[in-house]
Chains A and B, each alone.
Chain A
Amino acid sequence: MKAFTYERATSPAAAAAAAAKPGAKFIAGGTNLLDLMKLQVETPTHLVDVNRLGLDTIEASGDGGLRIGALVRNTALAADPRVRRDYGVLSRALLSGASGQLRNKATTAGNLLQRTRCPYFYDTNQPCNKRKPGSGCAAIGGYSRALAVIGTSADCIATHPSDMAVAMRALDATVETVDASGKSRAIPIADFHRLPGNTPWIETALQPGEMITSVTLPRPVGGTHIYRKVRDRASYAFATISVAAVLRPDQGTPRFAFGGLAHKPWRVEAAETQRDAKGIAAAALAGATPTAQNAYKIPLVERTLASVLAEGAAA
């Protein structure tokens, strides 16, 4: 690890001010950041430890939903009785990710801010526009089996690795933040993660130093909740593709969000009026640009959707 200085933050606004300085980063669970620091993919010069700021409770929000503190650990969120009862797709998505040890440490905000698992991002000997802007993309034309099939650019075909974020996208969550001046704002999850475009190193709507304080879920939408993750081994592996589904909600059409397909959790609301897996998959993946190695994801989405719909019909 490169040397860095360390401070324990005393308030969210003070943390935001400290992290706004060049070279500074927040550390919460640390499970992704320290991994990358050991490889010198991340080389912060200052770490702002936010673990003692509270922000670790799950409370009822004013409008019948839930406000999840940024520092609520993944295990605690997945095990919360209200989440298990009313937002099952979120609980399942969290439990499908990482290992028991990692879920005990990883936080809600940190999960949203995970970096990609693209092998070329991890290998500092390879060009990567995300790690080193302007250096090129070794994944395009390289080993791309696990990488994105839609929303890609000529500069980056990385995927966002989170399962939790995919469920939050299906649930229309909102990310709440505070900046150095103490000003707070709310960002709909649909606008939180960005597509790579020609600036793949800018992954979210956050400004420098802006800190996530909580994630809110709207009032429960009812319905049958399913999170189906397809991966190379049965446990402790990233998704090749995943489907977060809310079937037969109390109001409106069913909801489908997808992981493993893009630089952000992928959801196309217009596809949700289609009546079968074929139609939903075709509408959600219109304009996809897979590589020869990851073209398998296109039929896999349709087949996984068919399986999810069958499971939902039997529930």
Chain B
Amino acid sequence: MNDTHGFTLTRRGALVGGAAAASAGALPAEAQTLTKESPTPTVPVAFTVNGKRRELDLDPRVTLLDALREHLHLIGSKKGCDHGQCGACTVMVDGKRINSCLTLAVMHDGDAITTIEGLGTPDKLHPMQAAFVRHDGYQCGYCTPGQIMASVAMLQEIKDGVPSYVSADLTAKPRVDGQEVRERMSGNICRCAAYSNIVAAIGDVAGEDLA
């Protein structure tokens, strides 16, 4: 794995890299090989991430989240609980939001994955990203990539007519209102509790006042 492509060295990276280099020098050659070996046969997998084809050869235990962060260095998707409870790892697979921590990367051969990096850039924000900035829809920011990915996919689900537990009429076209948005965003936790501003940002994009 090439650890440096497209990356500027961070202080943490320099510390970790420095420690690894120091200990590598002290280890016999076999031990170095051993630490790199996977105990199980690796599995080839190819998918597109943000429109770009990526091919990896992975230990089957690698989750989609770890493949994105540790192998492809797309560190926008966050690891919060690693058990599907917090939503910080939310990405879209073929346009649908999922918890990338609860799926294996090798299960996604041929899939199209979108991460927060593929949604917008600092120069050209996605409207949801701009709305989160405008409404202060975060404090520490750790849950924000997951909140934004979930928000964009959630509005599409409403557009596609997917009902929710709070939809009064199951057969009617669902509406964008505060109750619907809160119910549909319950898989994303914000420990700073910026919820009211997150709902306001989503309402801004949907053209509804959800305050």
Contact = CB atoms under 8 A, between A and B. Distances in A.
Interface string A1-12: 101111010000
B161 interface: yes
B203 interface: no
Interface stretch (A58-66, A85-93, A275-283): A85-93
A31 interface: yes
A105 B98 contact: yes
B150 interface: yes
A51 to B, nearest CB: 6
A34 B102 contact: yes
Interface residues of A, number: 37
Interface in A1-55: 1, 3-6, 8, 27, 29-31, 34-35, 38, 47, 49, 51
A185 interface: no
Interface in B28-51: 39-41, 43
Interface string B106-142: 1101000000000000000000000000000000000
B105 to A, nearest CB: 11
Contacts of B184: 100
Q: Could you tell me the dominant secondary structure of chain B's interface residues? A: loop
Contacts, number: 109
Contact of B161 (A8, A79, A92, A236): A79
B96 interface: yes
A177 interface: no
Interface in A223-265: 234-236
B7 interface: no
B111 to A, nearest CB: 10
B103 A30 contact: yes
A268 interface: no
Given A79-B161, A92-B165, A30 B40 contact: no
A27 B165 contact: no
